[in-house]
Chains A and B, each alone.
Chain A
Amino acid sequence: EVQLVESGGGLVQPGRSLRLSCAASGFIFDDFAMHWVRQAPGKGLEWVAGISWHSETIVYGHSVKGRFTISRDNAKNSLYLQMNSLRDEDTALYYCVKDSGATPTGYFDPWGQGTLVTVSS
């Protein structure tokens, strides 16, 4: 069974940094691209970033480009999101998501349970 377990969320002040992690199991991690997708409280889904199977292709959403960095460690079956210069509007539940293929251009399945990031002073 595929499992994606996010961690690292919490309360952080505006302008500070936070690093999210996602531990993957139940599939061959380095065969698939991965993504982060977020959902602000009571709102819809927003794609944040995606990374290909061997990190050769990395893409970001407009609202986080230049502030967030997605990375992966295939030896540890782990996905990361380094979030810098955090803003109030980054407050959301952050989901780790497996792509259907090796490049970050497929559909999303499955999704982790999410880790909550709250940006507030």
Chain B
Amino acid sequence: DIVMTQSPDSLAVSLGERATINCKSSQSVLYTANNQNYLTWYQQKPGQPPKLLIYWASTRESGVPDRFSGSGSGTDFTLTISSLQAEDVAVYYCHQYYSTPHTFGQGTKLEIK
């Protein structure tokens, strides 16, 4: 199974500042045949289901603000929020769909400093 490890577990950032969340996979999730990284980021606000933010490691879902961006390849990935807004308070999860079983990172709780 591919183990997904996020860092940090929690993060407090001031409004308007940059937030960076990391995700590391225990093996590469890059499929060389199509040069795609099978890595997704979700946002989960309290009392709500997860919401898709980023897929293929760096493709922003339609309607997601452009302050959210994803980067990385192979085993190391980053979700960046360029200018934190109050509505971004949530838990963020990475997810690999390179192989089954699908696995998630443990989550990173993002708060306002």
Contacts and interface: CB of A to CB of B under 8 A. Distances in A.
Interface stretch (B11-19, B20-28, B81-89, B95-103): B95-103
B49 A107 contact: no
Given A45-B50, A45-B93, A107-B55, A50 B100 contact: yes
B74 interface: no
A89 interface: no
A109 B61 contact: yes
A47 B50 contact: no
Highest count of chain A CB atoms <10 Å: which of B42, B49, B61, B101? B49
Interface residues of A, number: 23
B107 A105 contact: no
B80 interface: no
A105 B100 contact: yes
A111 B101 contact: no
A107 B51 CA distance: 11
A44 B49 contact: no
Interface size class of B (residues with CB under 8 A): 20 to 34
Contact of A104 (B40, B50, B100, B103): B100
A100 B62 CA distance: 14
Nearest to B6: A44
Contacts of A50: 100, 102
A107 B95 contact: yes
A79 to B, nearest CB: 15
A45 B1 CA distance: 15
B97 A62 contact: no
Given A108-B40, A108-B95, A109-B61, A47 B49 contact: no
17 contacts: A35-B102, A45-B107, A61-B101, A62-B1, A95-B49, A95-B50, A100-B55, A105-B99, A107-B52, A108-B42, A108-B95, A109-B52, A110-B49, A110-B51, A111-B50, A111-B51, A112-B49
Interface of B: 1, 38, 40, 42, 49-52, 55, 61, 93, 95, 97, 99-107
